[in-house]
Amino acid sequence: MNKDLPGHIKKAFRSVERYLPVVDLIVELVDARMPNGSRLRDFVGKLSKDSVIALSKSDLADKNETEKWIKRYQSEGKVCLALDCRSRASVKALAKKIRDVAFVSKDGRAVQMRKVRRVMVIGIPNVGKSTLINSLAGRSAAKTANKPGVTRSIQWIKLSGELELLDLPGILDFGLLRRGEVLKLINTLPGQDDDTYTKGKNLCELLISTHNTHILPGLEDADFNYDTFIENYAKKMNFVIKGGNPDLQRATNDIIKRFQSGGFGPVTLEHAERDFSEIFDKMNENEGSEDL
């Protein structure tokens, strides 16, 4: 475990270890806009428990790509489904899967050994864990907000019947932290406003890599250059600073906010049929190229 991780994340790791023996099922929540890039694959893999992969924020992701991700995880033997965690109707399918997996033994017979079945929801910060739990429970039992690090303490939330869900703070492992610049695009790391230039540049490069160039004029240019692109965007939007120069910072923030809030329509930044590891690794090298 990284000794530099924030206290509540270290606590979350300890809680996973502590509660694992009494947990029957893990719901691994990943962001549908970047499924593998937001997945605690190694960590969850080592826990040796039945697990379901749920793709959160699928309302913000490209539906075709989400289908491909589901097929990919299913072909790897995983139970997987896509959700809008804010919608009770959307999480119903997950509630059914949880019951199927948690209450039916491997040979297909109903499990009766213990009455209460416990489910742990694991995922990176701000992926939608508490929102999902609230929708499953049908009430606002867990605190939520659109910033990473909202859940600080661990709590069991009782669902109707014999299910209990564990809401944990978000977890980040070494592999994901190494790709911090990529995670900032989906608003997962605290202190994200420090280098908007890098974020804007990375977002545009990923939009190009995933063939989302129709979103903004200039992205499709064969000799795409971020500095020229963002200057043109600021001019077009009439973002100016004193003296009449284009406001590049405002332009960058505007693009990032629009992407994060779904303002460009559904967009997926990682394709299931291609390995994005190299592209993501390179994103951290874009760091701090220019002062805005």
- CA–CA gap between residue 25 and residue 30 (Å, rounded): 16
Min dist. Cβ of residue 150 to Mg ion (A) = 5
Size of the site for ligand GTP (CB under 6 A): 25
Choices 38-46, 148-156, 217-225, 271-279 (CB under 5 A): range interacting with Mg ion: 148-156
Is 213 buried (19+), middle (13-18) or exposed (0-12) by CB count in 10 A? Answer: middle
Binding residues among 24-83 for ligand GTP as defined by CB under 6 A: 56-57, 59-60, 83
**Residue with nearest beta carbon to Mg ion:** 151
Closer residue to Mg ion (CB): 60 or 171: 171
Q: Residue 236: what residue type?
A: K
> Quick check: 12 and 170 in contact, CB under 8 A?
yes
Query: Any residues with CB less than 8 A from the CB of 178 and at least 6 apart, and which?
Result: 281, 284
Is 179 a binding residue for ligand GTP by CB under 6 A? The answer is no
DSSP strands (E only) in 101-154: 117-123
Binding residues among 113-132 for Mg ion as defined by CB under 5 A: 129-130
Please identify which residue in the block is written with the tokens 């209460």: 116
Min dist. Cβ of residue 74 to Mg ion (A) = 27
CA dist list (Å): 212 to 61, 62, 95, 183, 209: 12, 10, 33, 19, 8
Letters for 95-134 (x = contact with ligand GTP by CB under 6 A, - = none) are: ----------------------------x-xxxxxxx---
Choices 78-86, 142-150, 153-161, 224-232 (CB under 5 A): range interacting with Mg ion: 142-150
DSSP code at position 191: S
Min dist. Cβ of residue 145 to ligand GTP (A) = 5
Q: How far apart are the first and last CA of the chain?
A: 35
DSSP code at position 2: -
Min dist. Cβ of residue 131 to ligand GTP (A) = 3
Closer residue to ligand GTP (CB): 123 or 200: 123
User: Which spans of this chain sit near ligand GTP (rule: CB under 6 A)?
Assistant: 56-57, 59-60, 83-86, 123, 125-131, 144-146, 148-151, 169-170
